[in-house]
Amino acid sequence: MDDLIEEVDITDDHQQPKLISALMAILFQCVTTLLWLAISVPCLPLFVLGLFIWGLPPIIPAWSTFCKFFMAVFTEGEPKDNIPWTNWVLLFLLFFDVLIKVPINGLCWYIDEFLYSSYHKVNIEEPVFMITAHRSGSTQLCNYLQDDKENFIAPTVAEAMFPYIWVWKIFAPIALQLGLDKRLHNFSVFGPESIKRHHSVILKTDTWDSLARFWHFGVFSLYLGSPFMCWGFSFIKSDNPKYHNGEFFQSFVHFTNCMMKKVMYYRGKPKQRILIKGHFLLNAKILEHQYPKSKFFAVVRNPVDRFCSCINMVKAVAEDGPGNTQYGLFPATWRVIRDYVICTQIPYCEQEMLFYKEPADNKFVIPFTMYVNNLSATLQRIYSFCDIPIPDDVMSNAVRIQHTTHDYTRRRANYDPKFNKSLVNLGVNEKKLRERLREYIEWIKSVEDYKKTD
């Protein structure tokens, strides 16, 4: 990676946290942690009982993960990462907060095991996995498919954040009666600049592995320097154990299997195909083996454009996402985010190509250029790939969407220049990057040429 990076002056536009604000955030976190402790202690005996009966729920991080994160507070980060001392204190408190909530979260999961254990009998025959790289347009595409409720079921952000059937059965009807579903229709966990790039609407589906990481400290790894980000928020296989979070990837498969069955059980529409979207390339082979009739597809995009978009997106989330706005954590610098993206996305490209180049009827690749220029043709190919007749209303909506929300060029024109830096501005040698990914770029070009003649 070092040969791709050049020394340039990268100025971070944000301000250092004010001492008073930082101390208030620390004080607030101390108070909330104590309150959760008072609730959690009475739940501990029942949680231990459930642990012996049903085992560790997939929403609970492995004990080794807790140790890893607690140690990271004292060992990760370098002076050049510009991490203020308030981040270390807040992160330690946040990790402790997650540890305290283990009996509560575990007990909530066990209620489903006690009341609705029959969800395990749900048969998931033909799941559709959209496993694609960051900033390829996959979230928006998945939202289009999710709107076709006759053919697809896609777990929502809310269902991943509250992964309990009993909660859905109790509170969903109440929310409908109060009209909260309309109020939450456009509610996002991100701030205005991040929303321009990635909606993350709570009642829509989103990046599944990122939602799973919500339960495994994932968002907090963005504030501990690029090496730790590569471990805590990576999506590929790495020969370097420093970058391989095996505990998370093991629990992720369990979480995915359980959640697909829970959602299908709750919605009661077993003939529909469940659609899961994310970047979980490392688990693709495992899921392919577990579900022999599963289908996989991806949107492939020029890596130079995609890397640039990814860096700017992560920077925007670091500034106006929950870590900064909700917890008061100081955003990661451009250098940290740049190094993280380059380190994780180059091997992702290489492994993505290997997976989707395998000759198989259950894999399908969509060029990004076709997706942004001809949404109707893209949806037609996806439905054909899934062996589903495309509904007339889906086609008519595609034409309408193509001229409104799907206009990629117009959306980019609204980006804040502060979060729209080029790779050259960030010190990435584009020529060397293209050479490093020459085979991958040629593969994308071959896919584009094939789709033009198909």
Answer whether residue 401 shows pLDDT above 80: no
| Total-model pTM | 0.91
pLDDT in tens, 277-286: 999 998 999 9
Report yes or no: 321 and 191 within 8 Å, Cβ to Cβ: yes
Q: Is the pLDDT of residue 270 over 70?
A: no
Residue 327 pLDDT class (50, 70, 90 cuts)? confident
List the one residue out of 229, 226, 428 whose CA is nearest residue 309. 428
Nearest to 287 by CA among 272, 300, 274, 303: 274
Asked whether residue 318 carries a pLDDT value surpassing 60, the answer given is yes
Q: What percent of the chain has pLDDT over 70?
A: 91
- The string of pLDDT tens digits covering residues 345-360 is 999 999 999 999 887 8
Q: pLDDT-derived band of residue 84, with 50, 70 and 90 as boundaries? A: confident
- 14 pLDDT exceeds 60? no
Is the distance from CB of 287 to CB of 253 less than 8 angstroms?
yes
Per-residue pLDDT band for 125 (boundaries 50, 70, 90) equals confident
- Give DSSP secondary structure letters for 32-48: HHHHHHHHHHHHHHHHH
Is 367 strand, coil or helix? strand
The yes/no answer on whether domain 124-453 falls in CATH 3.40.50.300 is yes
Does residue 10 register a pLDDT over 80?
no
What's the pLDDT at 121? 92
Instruction: Report residue 364 as tokens.
Output: 């399908």
Least confident of 23-32, 83-92, 413-422: 413-422
- Encode pLDDT of 49-67 as tens digits: 999 999 999 999 988 888 8
Residues 6 or more apart whose Cβ sits within 8 Å of residue 196: 316, 411, 414, 415
**Model confidence band, residue 268 (pLDDT cutoffs 50, 70, 90):** confident
Residue 372's nearest CA partner among 397, 403, 329, 334 is: 403
pLDDT at 188: 79
Average pLDDT over the chain, rounded to an integer: 86
Structure tokens at 433: 């990057």
Q: What is the pLDDT of residues 159-201, one digit of tens each?
A: 999 999 999 999 888 887 777 777 777 777 788 888 888 877 8
pLDDT at 35 over 60: yes
Where exactly are the structural domains of the chain? 124-453
Token representation of residue 219: 């968002």
